[in-house]
Amino acid sequence: MPYCRPAESVAALPLAEHAVLWCMRLWVDQVRLGGHPGARIAQVFEDLGVEGGGRRLEACLALWHRGAGRLPRVHCLGDRVVGEEEALLLDAIALQQRQGTAEAVALLSCIMPHLMALQALPALAGIAQALEARGLWLARRPAVQQPPWLRCFPAMPGPGSLHPANGH
């Protein structure tokens, strides 16, 4: 199922989102070519004052690569539009920053098996926490509060609201 969001301009992204997006694109590009982007990604996060952010992003992307069985689908480094899976990762980080763990896992489960999404969660939480510690919040639009894909799920029953069919 595609993760549908209105087209976003890279130029309109806040600094933290732009940096994560650029690092994601660089990582995919370099891994595809057999390169090692770690030092450049670490430098971007260091310039932002986000300790360990690069290492955590790389761990998350590596789990994505393994979990989905393919590299994340990203646009070229200079492309001016945010891609579908790029938006998915940015939204998942933003959800994690807002304690939306279940929603973040559901988003990751759109592109990888659920168990791998759960394994990727600590790396995703690490990125979110590292950015948050520096005061950098991913200010994603309304999709963070109510992504379109979430509307198709039935409401979850509240605790204590389920009763056995036989009344016991």
Could you list the pLDDT tens digit for every one of the 168 residues in the chain?
455 556 789 999 999 999 999 999 999 999 999 999 999 999 999 999 999 999 999 999 998 898 888 999 999 999 999 998 899 899 999 999 988 888 888 888 888 888 888 998 999 999 999 999 999 998 775 344 444 555 444 444 444 444 444 445
pLDDT given for residue 157 in this prediction:
43
Query: Which residues lie closer than 8 Å to 12 by C-beta, 6 or more apart?
Result: none
pTM of this structure? 0.80
Residue position matching structure tokens 């991913």: 138
Beta bridge partners of 9: 81
Backbone angles phi, psi at 99, to 5 degrees: 65, 25
Name the one residue in this structure whose structure tokens are 């939306």: 100
